[in-house]
Structure 1
């Protein structure tokens, strides 16, 4: 089943203009509008959030807008530049999120993420990351996911909150209370429905379809059926000219897994020839199956490093054939290298003396495509004395930077996040505990070492100006070793609560 994401950019025109101006752009607090011509009048074609808060709206005459906001900043509306920018953003989304993406002018993008959401930590995490990433780039965004284009489009524009996740089969319930404008109907149809007393989408369900169709035409029923999934609304995926793509058409539809695997292997051979000709390797492959019922089935795999090895790429794709639903048959197979990076040819080492460096990228690719690339990572050091800030997650195949953790004080193999409160008996200010109780079990301290004093990072937050932790390594009678700290220096109450916490367990 399709899972469609509608990405809504409510202030796309003004956000794009600010990005284009760069340092010369007005502050986000300063209201900005884009002006254009509506017949003989100059009207507001787009308004940013600050302008909307002051009462400016799309379609308002420019003279009225300047009366309401005398110091208004206005730029010429560039409809063509907005459309081209939306296409470029759609290509960016294609390379990072889903194999089926298309622009939804004038202020949206549609993605079919079925089979690709697990690569981003699930649907909710994917939408949240998508909105946050665009926000960091200066683009205000909202996103919704549902079974249909119509439902996702409506929810992205007419619900509160930056994201909305509708479970499978829940489109009808989700859009029931939305206004009629959410169905993408022409303005004259909306006005006619309001005259008849229709307000919400659910008001249409109890009304016979024939009189409505007779009065307003087939568009009303078509949009309602598309939103509920009763009528198809195919997505025509965007395909830039510079993408490396190969395809195969079949005189008779295919559907057997063995047949799919055979033709996938042939497509990979052709694709690798194109990759070699351009001196690049694939980091993301999209296989799109065009079914005879005019629907698309997509399959996406990624690699940790650029690859153009036929056997390796074929295995990654065929491992996921089980996720393809061929229906009544597949008539076209399309394989695209959506994301590529330079990959120079290299000679395979044949020396019997030099040790070859093991290549685990193939294993990383297999695991990442099964459980998601965000689930495969390794730890890297960060320059911080605060233990929970001294490590970060990086991609499994990220090159070594040469950074290491300081070795003058040992650190436990396992840190508790957050540290857990313990009850202790200790002689202040610098003696270790004599005993401590953790998770209901009292442990007597046999050996101890410390304290190691860690100061707060005052440049990050004001409360850390005086914050102190004193860490101790403890060993109990059973030989178990623990890492505990006291919040504070044992004397000054401003340095901490002087409570004790267990932060780690040594292996």
Structure 2
């Protein structure tokens, strides 16, 4: 029911907003914990786990004892769980959701027959239709001819029924283990000199980069944690403008930060971890290899400057798809975007733009003489108009006045200006200047 109806029936009802990210993270941690019982652990939706305990039950006196151990441990963590153990995934799912315990070998059909049809993992529409037809339990479905069920409900129902009884194979999709890109180095005696820290960092970098290369991954963020003898820790974070896995290239980028480390009475442990990784497949260099190296050199320069002032403060102009002069480009952090080749300047548009500055004039044609920025100009030639309409789907206060008629004006004083006229509210403005 809806939340308002539920609170009307139960005024003291406690509610909390769902955090799906935290739920998924907890389920992954629970899957790692379940590795103690079997090597094959998979997810069952967003609230369950599937364990293939084939060959693992002999570590316990019986299958029931295995389930009891799972429940006892989870209850100690204040978790309420439901479980079921059967010879098939569908049978275990049905028992865990609508019954409990262990289904002995050879008794799967008898254990599933009294359970409702929803225990076959069917959708709500199919379950409602089965209820109207009087087929309320799995036993009712088994007593009905297969040809009749197949014609009425099709393949999904028959597949779920066969999977539950073991007539159709189904296996657990095990959770792929997360690869940890981290390395640690302990020292028998504390160190504090820059050369010693740099040597240790180089060794850790080679270990992580080898793992990144094996996985065809690259890192954008590296975190070095130095544990001092007084139990305090010093951290150095390096953000890269491009994904990298070359230790020889990364190591010099750490130099400035490593020299500023306060070693205190000495450092007895250094840990290096790649916090942000992304795919970096191997590439075959061709005739354009020189251009690739040039782009990498630019990214390394951005990284060195960003370590001093911050990567977000180094900007790059990007082309935007808009006919509005002010919106024909965007400014983005250079470290998180790629250059889009040569900048194509639309004909008739100036390279220098500024906020519209009003001048005297009410006529539709450009004024023969006007005053702008405390200077007087006389028009030698005017080309136009070019009518530009506002983007009605964007609420831009500078364009609420309506359409604009742009003119390219050449003055006798040598200045070439980009001016526009607003027909709705007659007025003239200067917005750009040609080189």
TM-score by length of 1: 0.48
| Aligned partner (choices 308, 317, 321) of residue 245 of structure 2 | 308
Partner of 1:254: 191
Counterparts of 2:404 and 2:26, CA distance in 1: 51
Partner of 1:168: none
After TM superposition, list the pairs within 5 Å mapping 1:344-423 onto structure 2.
344-349=281-286, 356-357=291-292, 358-359=294-295, 360-396=298-334, 398-399=337-338, 407-409=346-348, 411-416=349-354, 419-423=355-359
Is 1:381–1:403's contact at 8 Å kept on the other side of the alignment?
Answer: no
**Relative contact order higher in (CA < 8 Å, ≥ 6 apart):** 1
**Cα shift readout 1:97-118 (whole Å, capped 9, x = no counterpart):** xxxxxxxxxxxxxxxxxxxxxx
The answer to whether 1:343 aligns with 2:343 is no
Change (3 A) 1:408 1:327: same
Is 2:366–2:382's contact at 8 Å kept on the other side of the alignment?
Answer: no
After TM superposition, list the pairs within 5 Å mapping 1:276-355 onto structure 2.
276-349=213-286
Counterparts of 2:249 and 2:392, CA distance in 1: 50
| Aligned partner (choices 415, 426, 429) of residue 480 of structure 1 | 415
Is 2:181–2:273's contact at 8 Å kept on the other side of the alignment?
Answer: yes
Is 1:243–1:338's contact at 8 Å kept on the other side of the alignment?
Answer: no
What SS class does the counterpart of residue 10 from structure 2 fall into?
A: helix
Counterparts of 2:323 and 2:18, CA distance in 1: 51
Change (3 A) 1:331 1:365: same
Change (3 A) 1:260 1:402: closer
The answer to whether 1:457 aligns with 2:395 is no
Is 1:272–1:309's contact at 8 Å kept on the other side of the alignment?
Answer: yes
User: How much has 1:82 moved relative to structure 2?
Assistant: 4.8
User: How much has 1:296 moved relative to structure 2?
Assistant: 2.2
**Cα shift readout 1:20-61 (whole Å, capped 9, x = no counterpart):** xxxxx98xxx7699xxxxxxxxxxxxxxxxx9xxxx9xxxxx
**Cα shift readout 1:371-421 (whole Å, capped 9, x = no counterpart):** 222222322222222111121124536346689756232x222322xx153
Counterparts of 2:390 and 2:19, CA distance in 1: 51
After TM superposition, list the pairs within 5 Å mapping 1:44-443 onto structure 2.
63-65=10-12, 82=22, 85=25, 242-349=179-286, 356-357=291-292, 358-359=294-295, 360-396=298-334, 398-399=337-338, 407-409=346-348, 411-416=349-354, 419-424=355-360, 426=361, 428-432=363-367, 434-438=369-373, 440-443=374-377
Change (3 A) 1:465 1:323: same
Counterparts of 2:418 and 2:394, CA distance in 1: 25
Counterparts of 2:418 and 2:307, CA distance in 1: 37
Change (3 A) 1:241 1:408: closer
User: How much has 1:278 moved relative to structure 2?
Assistant: 1.7
**Cα shift readout 1:169-224 (whole Å, capped 9, x = no counterpart):** xxxxxxxxxxxxxxxxxxxxxxxxxxxxxxxxxxxxxxxxxxxxxxxxxxxxxxxx
Counterparts of 1:347 and 1:308, CA distance in 2: 16
Is 2:380–2:410's contact at 8 Å kept on the other side of the alignment?
Answer: yes
User: Could you say which structure has the larger radius of gyration?
Assistant: 2
Counterparts of 1:354 and 1:271, CA distance in 2: 26
Higher strand proportion (structure 1 or 2): 1
Counterparts of 2:17 and 2:289, CA distance in 1: 64
What SS class does the counterpart of residue 263 from structure 1 fall into?
A: helix
Counterparts of 1:65 and 1:433, CA distance in 2: 78
RMSD (CA atoms): 3.9
- Structure 1 gaps of 5+ residues are 1-24, 34-50, 57-61, 67-73, 89-239, 490-494
Change (3 A) 1:292 1:80: farther
Counterparts of 1:414 and 1:320, CA distance in 2: 39
What SS class does the counterpart of residue 301 from structure 2 fall into?
A: helix
User: How much has 1:299 moved relative to structure 2?
Assistant: 1.4
Partner of 2:429: 501
What SS class does the counterpart of residue 320 from structure 1 fall into?
A: helix
TM-score by length of 2: 0.55
Is 1:284–1:300's contact at 8 Å kept on the other side of the alignment?
Answer: yes
